[in-house]
């Protein structure tokens, strides 16, 4: 066994023992102690020794334990005693610094129990190191404040609040719940929140109230996706109401064709049109509901809020008594949220990543068993290679007049001061599409 097995220059390895699962490495500090840590006097005498057990990085699929022969000294000047400092060791946890750093990085990719088993460290300690590592990342990583911010929901074991940068299709934070207090606290500590101009959200009153409190200058827009989805829900209600009058084979057919009813008319294939015609001719109320859904989508082709209001009024008036109950939730939502829904027609902000969020939720719930919310959040926000960066060009700066006489300048040599400093890349958060790809490939 080589004597430099540790690759820690501050230590001299005196012997190594090994078994099937572990390396036991005995070592001592190479640097002599020259001064008292209390008074800096150099009048020191030896005052005993103690073996300190320190865990290190696994090697060759074996756990590694260091047994460091630690010297104790007494200062003749102040009379105090102390043990020599152990370089590259985190006192308190008694791990090498590189092991603590490795555990932090691995904890974004693997369950705590797996890391505990590989290193021989208690799972609680692994969890604490993970928290320290995340706190360090939180302090170091700064995401750009979105100009167009999204507030949405993702289901990770239970509903969570997602904060996004809509313009860049990135996630900038994940909150443990959708409570108003959680959103208020997040917005209160947001850097340069005056940069936020538009906030797109669903029709969730606590989010609206929090934004109006902390971002009174921002325009709230109800995301188009959440409004038109209610029109689809109305068609689903019509389909389910029809189900009771059908035979079992017809019910199965209607269940199979429900996706045709949710499709936009412009996206129907010839086969879809044939199926749709069969259902709508035999069951006129279903056809009316489908046409009303399509007409509601047409409202979002309006070029102004005033145009949208007129289109909506015409659409509502066209609803027959037979299908109106199916659209009751949509009618109520428009009445209660009309002001914010109409803001879309001046600020057409929408969470285009909604389908990606659904995919993310599905994959994370499949892979996330055994992970705490904190671990899932850290995986999403801080995994290496997940961030979307852009590097801005520095602004053009006019050079100061050259003070060197023209006659002294060599031909062809450019004049001027030092080149501008490189601009640090801006970090816009976790790229949603890349995140889903990495999850599906099993890279997280």
Q: How many residues does the chain have?
A: 444
The yes-or-no verdict on residue 371 having pLDDT over 80 is no
Query: What per-residue confidence (pLDDT) applies to 277?
Result: 79
Instruction: With cut-offs at 50, 70 and 90, classify the pLDDT of residue 140.
Output: confident
Backbone angles phi, psi at 32, to 5 degrees: -70, 150
Nearest CA among 116, 21, 10, 122 for reference residue 68: 10
Q: For residue 410, is pLDDT > 60?
A: no
Given a cut of 60, whether residue 231 has pLDDT beyond it is: yes
Q: What is the greatest pairwise CA distance in the chain? A: 103
Structure tokens at 307: 């145009």
Specify the pLDDT at position 229. 93
Mean pLDDT of 50-64: 93
Of the pLDDT bands very low, low, confident and very high (cuts 50, 70, 90), residue 256 is low
The CA R_g of the chain, rounded to the nearest whole Å, is 32
Identify the residue with better confidence: 401 or 282.
282
* Among 163, 115, 108, CA closest to 136: 108
Q: In what order do the strands lie in the sheet with 198-201?
A: 219-222, 198-201, 148-156, 158-165, 170-175, 426-431, 387-390
pLDDT(116) > 90: yes
Label residue 117 by pLDDT band (50, 70, 90).
very high
Q: What is the rounded distance in angstroms from the CA atom of residue 240 to the CA atom of residue 233?
A: 11
Check residue 2 and give its pLDDT: 55
Q: Which two tokens stand for residue 165?
A: 């940068």
Mean pLDDT over residues 182-204, rounded? 94
* Mean pLDDT to the nearest integer, 96-109: 91
pLDDT at 133 over 70: yes
Map the chain to HEC letters. Answer: CCCCCCCCCCEEEEEEEECCCEEEEEEEECCCCCCCCCCCCCCEEEEEEEEEEEEEEEECCEEEEEEEEEEEEEECCCCCEEECCCCCEECCCCEEHHHHHHHHHHCCCCCHHHHHHHHCCCHHHHHHHHHHHHHHHHHHCCCCCCCEEEEEEEEECEEEEEEEECCCCEEEEEECCCCHHHHHHHHHHCCCHHHCCEEEECCCHHHHHHHHHHCCCCEEEECHHHHHHHHHHHHHHHHHHHHCCCCHHHHHHHHHCHHHHHCCHHHCCHHHHHHHHHHHHHCHHHHHHHHHHHHHHHHCCCCCHHHHHHHHHHHHHHCCCCCHHHHHHHHHHHHHHHHHHHHHHCCCCCCCCHHHHHHHHHHHHHHCCCCCHHHHHHHHHHCCCCEEEECCCCCCCCCCCCCCCHHHCCCCCCCCCCCCCCCCCEEEEEEHHHHHHHHHCCCC
User: Which has more pLDDT, 387 or 150?
Assistant: 150
- pLDDT bracket for residue 416 (50, 70, 90): low
On the question of pLDDT at 349 being above 90, the answer is no
Residue corresponding to tokens 């079992």: 248
Q: Is the pLDDT of residue 213 over 90?
A: yes
pLDDT above 60 for 343: yes
Contacts 24+ apart (CB under 8 A), 7-10: 8/87, 8/88, 8/96, 10/87, 10/88
List pLDDT tens digits, range 320-331.
Answer: 999 999 999 999
* Residue 154 near residue 361 (C-beta atoms within 8 A): yes
For residue 307, is pLDDT > 60? yes
Give dist(CA 125, CA 22) in Å, integer.
19
- Provide the pLDDT for residue 443: 66
Query: CB–CB of 331/316 below 8 Å?
Result: yes
Q: Mean pLDDT of all residues in the chain?
A: 85
> Under a CB-based contact definition with an 8 Å cutoff, are residues 208 and 340 in contact?
yes
Q: What is the pLDDT of residue 335?
A: 96
Instruction: Tell me the average pLDDT across 125-130.
Output: 92
- Give the pLDDT confidence of 16-51 residue by residue, as tens digits: 998 989 999 999 999 999 999 999 999 999 999 999
Q: State both tokens at 313.
A: 């009024």
Whether the predicted pLDDT of 355 surpasses 70: no
The yes-or-no verdict on residue 302 having pLDDT over 80 is yes
pLDDT for 249 beyond 80: no
């Amino acid at each position: 066994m080589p004597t430099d097995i540790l690759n820690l220059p501050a230590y001299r390895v005196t012997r190594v023992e090994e078994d099937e699962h572990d390396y036991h490495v005995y070592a001592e500090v190479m640097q002599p102690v020259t001064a008292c840590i209390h008074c800096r006097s150099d009048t020191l005498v030896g005052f005993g020794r103690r073996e300190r057990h320190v865990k290190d990085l696994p090697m060759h699929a074996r756990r590694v334990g260091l047994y460091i022969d630690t010297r104790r000294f007494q200062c003749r000047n102040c009379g105090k005693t102390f043990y020599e400092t152990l370089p590259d060791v985190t006192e308190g946890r008694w791990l090498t610094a590189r092991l603590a750093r490795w555990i932090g990085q691995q904890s974004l990719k693997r369950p705590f129990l797996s890391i505990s088993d590989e290193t021989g460290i208690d799972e609680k300690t692994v969890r604490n190191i993970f928290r320290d590592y995340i706190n360090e990342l939180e302090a170091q990583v700064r995401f750009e404040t979105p100009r167009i911010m999204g507030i949405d929901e993702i289901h990770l074991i239970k509903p969570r609040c997602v904060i996004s940068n809509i313009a860049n299709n990135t996630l900038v934070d994940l909150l443990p719940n959708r409570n108003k207090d959680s959103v208020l606290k997040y917005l209160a500590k947001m850097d340069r929140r005056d940069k936020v101009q538009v906030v797109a959200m669903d029709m969730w009153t606590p989010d609206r109230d929090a934004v109006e409190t902390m971002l009174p200058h921002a325009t709230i827009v109800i995301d188009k996706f959440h409004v038109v989805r209610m029109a689809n829900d109305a068609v689903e209600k019509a389909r389910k109401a029809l189900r009771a009058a059908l035979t079992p084979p017809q019910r199965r057919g209607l269940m199979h064709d429900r996706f045709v009813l949710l499709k936009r008319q412009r996206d129907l294939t010839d086969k879809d049109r044939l199926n749709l015609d069969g259902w709508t001719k035999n069951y006129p109320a279903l056809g009316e509901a489908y046409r009303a859904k399509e007409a509601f989508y047409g409202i979002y082709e309006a070029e102004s809020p005033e145009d949208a209001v007129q289109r909506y009024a015409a659409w509502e008036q066209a609803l027959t008594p037979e299908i109106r109950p199916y659209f009751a939730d949509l009618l109520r939502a428009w009445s209660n949220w009309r002001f914010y829904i109409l803001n879309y027609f001046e600020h057409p902000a929408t969470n285009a990543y909604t389908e990606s969020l659904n995919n993310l939720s599905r994959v994370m719930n499949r892979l996330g068993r055994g992970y705490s919310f904190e671990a899932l959040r850290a995986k999403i926000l801080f995994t290496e290679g997940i961030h979307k960066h852009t590097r801005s060009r520095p602004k053009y700066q006019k050079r100061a007049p050259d003070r060197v006489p023209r006659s002294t300048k060599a031909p062809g040599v450019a004049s001027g001061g030092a080149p501008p400093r490189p601009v640090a890349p801006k970090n816009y958060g976790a790229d949603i599409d890349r995140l889903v790809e990495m999850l599906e490939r099993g890279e997280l």
